Amino acid sequence: MSSALTDLFPHPIVQAPMAGGVSVPKLAAAVCEAGGLGFLAAGYKTADGMYQEIKQLRSLTGRPFGVNLFMPQPEYPGASTGSTGAAGAAPPYAAAIDVYAHQLAGEASWYEAELGDPDSGRDDGYETKLAVLRDNPVPVVSFHFGTPTREVVDALHRVGTFVLVTATTPDEARAVERAGADAVIAQGVEAGGHQGTHRDIPETDGSGIGLLSLVAQIREAVSIPIIAAGGIMRGGQIAAVLAAGASAAQLGTAFLATAESGANAVHKQALTNPLFVRTELTRAFSGRPARGLVNRFLREHGPYAPAAYPEIHHLTSPLRKAAAKAGDAQGMALWAGQGHRMAREMPAGQLVEVLAGELAAALTALSGGGGVR
């Protein structure tokens, strides 16, 4: 990785931006202060909400940090990011959304909540957020669900911001490099939360590439640095992705369980609750593939959820909030990576230090020919 970017965080540890209230300023600040790169998640927030969190984070740390944006969604599944349909035309999957809404009527009755409006917006305030980040530059901006245009990347570079973009395939990584990004976040299929695919193609559900194979393939496809993400919970795993060609590792689920995380307490407890034995990619909660703990909602509705993001996200939002308020883990979106059972409850800064220590021990063992724990 370029020395300028590497200098932003002494340890090759990046805290993944987790939308929905998890990646709060105090979590990002704790990670930054410990020598990692903390991130705020601007997804599902207003531009002003993002700006207020940036100000709060700056009051907590003087160290560099990042902000993550969601790319605007195309008008129909499988289209490239930025494509649009005819003005005023109903999406071709509108009927499927209506059918799914009818199926969720029982959930709405159970939680005494109204279903959300699926037509609540598709761009997540993208342009307004970009304007804020150009006027009030932050050290790093990352993008999920697609690649920004070269003009957007250049504009951020002009104000001194490093640009990172998620990719789930070598072809997506090539698009990231062509856009001029400083590094690519290689997201393996093991990762919790939403897969950052540039196109949402239903036929590819569950066919993602494992992280170590993905890092190796992307390493041969592009010359820009790689940040590896997906199921990483221990320092030994960080050593493994560094050996495979990555320059740093991004961890989400590992930080979800920390004291500073804004995750619901029920969500934190579920990570290591023996009731939840596995994770699965599902469209049940948002209409886009996302990995979460298998619970009742996922089992009952996952097979029938259409490929319609963010419409399904808007539709189920009140249900998820009602389930969380009731403390019902069976109705919540319990996003988690495949390594969730290895989650450790401790302060985020301490977790960074523990991971750094485990990484150092693993690298020493590798260089000396010894075994790695």
pLDDT digits (tens, 9 = 90+) for 167-214: 999 999 999 999 999 999 999 999 999 999 999 988 777 779 999 999
**Those residues with Cβ within 8 angstroms of residue 88's Cβ, 6 or more apart along the chain or in another chain:** none
pLDDT tens string 266-296: 999 999 999 999 999 999 999 999 999 999 9
Q: What is the pLDDT of residue 225?
A: 96
**Those residues with Cβ within 8 angstroms of residue 289's Cβ, 6 or more apart along the chain or in another chain:** 194, 195, 197, 200, 205, 206, 281, 282, 283
Per-residue b/e over 246-264, b at no fewer than 16 CB within 10 Å? bbbbbbbbbbbbbebbbbb
- The yes-or-no verdict on residue 367 having pLDDT over 90 is no
Peptide bond preceding 310 in cis form (omega within 30 of 0): yes
Question: Tokens 């003005």 belong to which residue?
Answer: 87
- The yes-or-no verdict on residue 90 having pLDDT over 70 is no
pLDDT tens string 120-170: 998 999 999 999 999 999 999 999 999 999 999 999 999 999 999 999 999
Average pLDDT, the chain: 94
What confidence category does residue 86 fall into, taking pLDDT thresholds of 50, 70 and 90?
very low
The CA-CA-CA angle for residues 274, 312, 174, to 5°, reads 85
What confidence category does residue 88 fall into, taking pLDDT thresholds of 50, 70 and 90?
very low
Over residues 311-336, mean pLDDT: 98
Over residues 223-243, mean pLDDT: 98
Q: Do 82 and 97 touch, CB atoms closer than 8 A?
A: no
Q: 274, exposed or middle or buried, with CB in 10 Å at 0-12, 13-18, 19+?
A: exposed
- The yes-or-no verdict on residue 108 having pLDDT over 60 is yes
DSSP character at residue 245: T
**Residues in a beta bridge with 13:** 249
- The yes-or-no verdict on residue 102 having pLDDT over 80 is yes
Q: What is the pTM of this model?
A: 0.94
**pLDDT > 90 in the chain, percent:** 88
